[in-house]
Amino acid sequence: MNLFSPESWYWLYDIPQFRLSLLFIGVFVGFYWAGSILLRPILRQFVKATAGSNDIVGYVLSCFCVFYGLLLGLIAVTAYQNVAEAGANVTREAAALSALYEDVSRYPEPHRQNLRWLLRDYTRYVIKYAWPLQQRGIIPEEGTIRAAAFYDQLLDFQPQTPAEQILHAEVLRQLNQFLEARQMRLFSVKASLPDSMWYVMILGAILNIAICWLFDMRFITQLLLGGILAAYLGTMMHLIFDMNQPFRGDVSISAEPFEALYKRMEDE
Amino acid sequence: MSGIPGGGLSRRDALRRAAATTLAAARALSPALFAGCSLGIPPRAKTVDVGLLHSQTGPLAISATSLRDIELHAFEKINAAGGLLGRQIVAHAPDTRSQTPLFPKRARQLLDQGAVAVFGCWTSTSRKAVLPIVEAANKLLFYPVQYEGNESSPCVVYGGMVPNQQILPALDWLASADGGLKKKIFLLGSDYLYPRTANFIVRKYLAEKSLKPVGTAYVPLGDRDFAGVVRQIRESGADCVLSTVNGDSNIGLFAALAEAKVDPATLPVVSTSIAEDELRSLPPRQVQGHYAASCYFQSLDTPANRGWVDGFRREFGHDRVTGDPLEPAWCLVHLWKQAVEQAGSFETEAVRQVFREGLEFAGPGGTVRLDPKTQHTTKFCRIGRIRGDRQFEIVHPSPTPIDPEPYPEFAFPGWSVDWTKGGITRGAEVDIDGDV
């Protein structure tokens, strides 16, 4: 297992939200407490002799927290934007699909029926097969075949009247929008924060915790106050981790727009 | 409680207490938080891969796409019932785009990815292209479409009809009073292996009865220009057409027949490759009154069939239709399932061993039996007249299932197959395009 490869950590997305949150907090607090027991006595040697060492450490920690807090905040916003953008693409794709379904319902038979069931088939595939694959970080490929089958069938239709020509042109325009949104969804499957951001975040968290080890105070107080800080760091990391992959974990995009559309298609 | 002067805890005591408290908390909370020491991760189901080899785009998509769907439906049902040998079946369905060279390529990819069996192919040309791949890998291909016979491989399970189960009974029916005593038969087909071999068998069969076809014509697969062919049919004086035209060429054929005002009452077309799915793309006024020979029609009025059709439509939409070869494809998946369960293994040799003992499955079209000698299935032959609602009225069902004969003696003298006793016995080479 390559610990530096993001894929090595994907199993974490399979853990239910609440438990994963406890795991993150547990790891950060555990790391802080373990360091307090094992490393603090050594690190304290460097500042022990300095008068007002707590003030100095407190000042350094404040400065550090400003930079680190800003970084975490910006990264959290970026991760959220990724999720929101992927969600918007999913909604856009489902909306374009819905519009296509309505438009081809105006085609003459047998094109109407054939085109409608190809779209229904595509929607079913997205819900039943594509989504579970996306949730495992795999780009589903067979939807492309279904989209191509629809395209083929659409090009089989030769408009005979001006009204049909207008409708056909509109359907082709709508199809392009659908294909574009679909491609964006597929790109989002692998979208995540760059590795370098994770390195900076993790290093920042370690340094943040390490600075806390330098404080001179009662041991219990040290464990308690540092533990609170570590717990919050863990929570932030968990939040960013959860939003890192738009289709993975509990804070992920659901297939709801497609499910609602498929239900409507079936009801018709 | 030990302490230090001044009332504070010593570092050692604090550590001891913290450790004791942490351990106690962990002990109390861990069963609730991390039940089963699994972090709550649901166990990932074991899977087994199978391949579906169907054309989902191109001229054959009109027919083959539904095969993919019925097979997916069958696997979904098996998975919902707990899977096969404790594994969930994962079906991979790449597109072969109606291009023969893509079939072996995709088959190889599927087998390389670990597929234990492949379901699919439509044309005989595609099946023959895939054959060396499955034979080299010693895997099983389940082929659900009617074909010309004259082939047998231990790596293929043939679920469709061979000529003695479809075309020859259709000819007998045409020659009967019920069929209109038709004896001037025009043979029309797409230009590839199945129609040419099937027509060779027909010519041989007619020759046995001192008859011969009044004309023969082939059109390239996918071609839709049939005006010349219809003229040829008219000029031949035929009183019926036996059509082995495949895929969406049928759209052109029936449009040309309607354009030439051919009356199905006097010049019916009996198709071997038209089912309910193809009728979706054919205007009813063009095809109504013509016939198809098949092992199964959706209109078959039995409880088993009604339940099956309802299940398929519930899953894929109420405007979807079943037909031949969807029914054989469904039966093949379940025959494979039975064989794997009986063998307790996905290994080809173990599964094939079960085939040798014979298998039966109660399909929607009636019970099918896998013949251990030929690895073909028994079939009912049903003749259906096309109705205005894109369905068939069954006008002639065979009373019992017909055993498969991949090498009819009159067409392939000396040839036979018996996989329980060593395989194929070869006779003299036969030229299917030669004189009969």
Alpha helices in chain A (DSSP H): 17-38, 40-48, 53-104, 111-125, 131-135, 142-155, 162-189, 195-213, 219-244, 256-267
Alpha helices in B189-321 (DSSP H): 193-208, 227-236, 249-259, 276-279, 284-287, 303-316
Q: CB-side exposure of A232: number of CA atoms within 13 Å?
A: 10
The residues near B66 (Cβ < 8 Å, ≥ 6 apart) are: B277, B320, B321, B322, B323, B326
CA distance B174 to B238: 13
Residues from chain A contacting residue B69 (CB–CB below 8 Å): 121
Per-residue pLDDT tens digits for B243-295: 999 888 999 999 999 999 999 999 999 999 899 988 988 899 999 999 999 99
* Residue B11, φ and ψ in degrees, nearest 5: -55, -40
CA distance B406 to B197: 12
pLDDT grade for A109, boundaries at 50, 70 and 90: confident
The pair of structure tokens assigned to A233 is 């760091």
Please state the length of chain A. Answer: 268
Alpha carbon distances (Å) from A70 to A56, A63, A65, A204: 21, 11, 8, 11
pLDDT grade for B25, boundaries at 50, 70 and 90: low
Predicted confidence at residue A53, as pLDDT, reads: 84
Per-residue pLDDT tens digits for B343-388: 999 999 999 999 999 899 999 999 999 999 999 999 999 999 999 9
Taking 60 as the threshold, does the pLDDT of residue B7 lie above it?
no
**Residue by residue, what is the 3-state secondary structure of B321-378?**
CCCCCHHHHHHHHHHHHHHHHHHCCCCHHHHHHHHHHCEEEEECCEEEEECCCCCEEC
- Map residue B263 onto helix, strand or coil: coil
Contacts 24+ apart (CB under 8 A), B429-432: B430/B150, B430/B200, B432/B150, B432/B196, B432/B197, B432/B200
Per-residue pLDDT tens digits for B207-246: 998 889 999 999 998 899 999 999 999 999 999 999 999 8
Residues from chain B contacting residue A152 (CB–CB below 8 Å): 57-58, 61
One DSSP character per residue, A222-237 reads: HHHHHHHHHHHHHHHH
Question: How many other C-beta atoms are found inside a 10 Å radius of the C-beta of residue A225?
Answer: 13
CA distance A139 to A214: 47
Query: B180: left (phi > 0), else alpha (psi -120 to 50), else beta?
Result: left
Place of tokens 């009813």: B284
Residues from chain B contacting residue A117 (CB–CB below 8 Å): 316-317, 319-320
Per-residue pLDDT tens digits for A36-52: 999 888 888 877 777 78
The pair of structure tokens assigned to B83 is 């899977």
Predicted confidence at residue B17, as pLDDT, reads: 74
**Residue by residue, what is the 3-state secondary structure of A17-47?**
HHHHHHHHHHHHHHHHHHHHHHCHHHHHHHH
Predicted confidence at residue B22, as pLDDT, reads: 62
Distance of residue A225 Cα from the nearest chain B Cα, in angstroms: 14
Query: B423: left (phi > 0), else alpha (psi -120 to 50), else beta?
Result: left
- Map residue B250 onto helix, strand or coil: helix
Sign, CA dihedral B121-B125-B130-B131, equals positive
Report ipTM (2 d.p.): 0.81
> Is A168:A106 a contact under the CB 8 Å cutoff?
no
pTM, two decimal places: 0.85
Q: Which of A23, A145, A265 sits opposite B56 (nearest CB)?
A: A145
Asked if A219 and B39 come within 8 Å (Cβ–Cβ), the reply is no
CA distance B233 to A228: 90
- One-letter amino acid at B165 equals Q
CA distance A214 to B350: 68
Sign, CA dihedral A80-A83-A87-A89, equals positive
Q: What percent of chain B has pLDDT over 70?
A: 91
The pair of structure tokens assigned to A12 is 């974490």
Nearest one of B125, B57, B123, B66 to B95, comparing CA atoms: B57
Nearest one of A123, A125, A119 to A101, comparing CA atoms: A119
Mean pLDDT of B138-166: 95
Question: How many other C-beta atoms are found inside a 10 Å radius of the C-beta of residue B9?
Answer: 18
Predicted confidence at residue B210, as pLDDT, reads: 87
Which one of A20, A29, A32, A117 would you mutate to disrupt binding with B, by most B Cβ within 10 Å of its Cβ?
A117
Distance of residue A13 Cα from the nearest chain B Cα, in angstroms: 9
Pairing of strands B156-158, B215-219: unpaired
Which residues of A make CB contacts under 8 Å with B? 11, 14-16, 19, 22-23, 33, 37, 109-110, 113-114, 116-117, 120-121, 124, 128, 142, 145-146, 148-149, 152, 218-220, 223, 265-266
Taking 50 as the threshold, does the pLDDT of residue B35 lie above it?
no
The pair of structure tokens assigned to B61 is 């998509």
Taking 60 as the threshold, does the pLDDT of residue B32 lie above it?
no
Predicted confidence at residue A144, as pLDDT, reads: 95
CA distance B328 to B365: 9
CA distance B269 to B176: 16
pLDDT grade for B63, boundaries at 50, 70 and 90: confident
Sign, CA dihedral A235-A236-A239-A245, equals negative
Per-residue pLDDT tens digits for B83-103: 999 999 999 999 999 999 999
The pair of structure tokens assigned to B306 is 């009604």
CA distance B235 to B83: 58
* Residue B360, φ and ψ in degrees, nearest 5: -135, 145
Asked if B8 and A113 come within 8 Å (Cβ–Cβ), the reply is no
DSSP B74: H
* Residue A107, φ and ψ in degrees, nearest 5: -75, 155
Per-residue pLDDT tens digits for B399-431: 999 999 999 999 999 999 999 998 999 999 998
CA distance A5 to A14: 17
pLDDT grade for A98, boundaries at 50, 70 and 90: very high
Q: Which of B58, B94, B319 sits opposite A117 (nearest CB)?
A: B319
Q: Which of B33, B69, B95 sits opposite A145 (nearest CB)?
A: B95
- One-letter amino acid at B210 equals S
Per-residue pLDDT tens digits for A139-197: 999 999 999 999 999 998 999 999 999 999 999 999 999 999 999 999 999 888 888 88
* Chain B residues 56-115 with CB within 8 Å of chain A: 56-58, 61, 65, 69, 76, 92-95
Q: CB-side exposure of B389: number of CA atoms within 13 Å?
A: 7
Nearest one of B117, B26, B163, B147 to B337, comparing CA atoms: B117
Q: Which of A14, A109, A149 sits opposite B42 (nearest CB)?
A: A14
CA distance B78 to B191: 38
Mean pLDDT of chain A: 90
Helix axis angle for B124-137 and B102-112, nearest 10°, is: 30
Interface contact B39, partner A, CB < 8 A: yes
Question: How many other C-beta atoms are found inside a 10 Å radius of the C-beta of residue B49?
Answer: 17
Predicted confidence at residue B28, as pLDDT, reads: 61
Nearest one of B408, B326, B391 to B365, comparing CA atoms: B326
